[in-house]
């Protein structure tokens, strides 16, 4: 098998995951996109391990390590998302960031400009 096939598939998976991380607002979807990126890396590791015909199979061993780290990451990440959802009532990343910066719903900067003009009139 040519190395180009898994490399192209891995690049497509990684780009899809990167788009998901940058474009999504839901924290759970962001975690799923990070998992997709890690799986793309795992596919690359295994493909290059097979291509190089390594007798120690270092790529496959590193893949198992990445899978274990990813499982721990998703477990802790989901626990954090659930705790934040219980406290704040949302898992929207933009709202959480605005609340952390002190621009909640009652903060003057959070009021839309149209609302400011209506309030002034």
pTM: 0.77
Question: What H or E segment, with its residue span, contains residue 42?
Answer: helix 27-52
22 touches 56 (CB < 8 A): no
- Would you say residue 117 has pLDDT above 80? no
Q: Is residue 113 part of a domain?
A: no
Predicted local distance difference test score (pLDDT) of residue 39 = 97
Predicted local distance difference test score (pLDDT) of residue 115 = 59
- When divided into structural domains, the chain yields a total of 1
Q: Is residue 119 part of a domain?
A: no
Q: Each residue of 3-55: pLDDT tens digit? A: 999 999 999 999 999 999 999 989 999 999 999 999 999 999 999 999 999 88
Predicted local distance difference test score (pLDDT) of residue 78 = 95
Q: Is residue 15 part of a domain?
A: yes
Q: What is the CATH number of the domain that holds 82?
A: 1.10.287.3510
Domain that holds residue 12: 4-107
Share of the chain above pLDDT 70, in %: 85
């Amino acid at each position: 098998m040519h190395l180009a096939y898994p490399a192209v598939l891995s690049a497509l998976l990684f780009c899809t995951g990167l788009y998901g991380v940058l474009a999504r607002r839901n924290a759970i979807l962001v975690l799923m996109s990070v998992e997709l990126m890690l799986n793309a890396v795992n596919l690359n590791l295994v493909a290059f391990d097979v291509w190089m015909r390594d007798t120690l199979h270092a790529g496959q061993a590193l893949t198992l390590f990445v899978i274990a780290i990813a499982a721990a990451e998703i477990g802790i990440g989901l626990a954090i998302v659930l705790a934040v959802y219980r406290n704040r009532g949302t898992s929207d990343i933009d709202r959480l960031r605005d609340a952390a910066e002190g621009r909640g719903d009652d903060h003057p900067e959070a009021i839309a400009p149209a609302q400011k003009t209506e309030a002034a009139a």
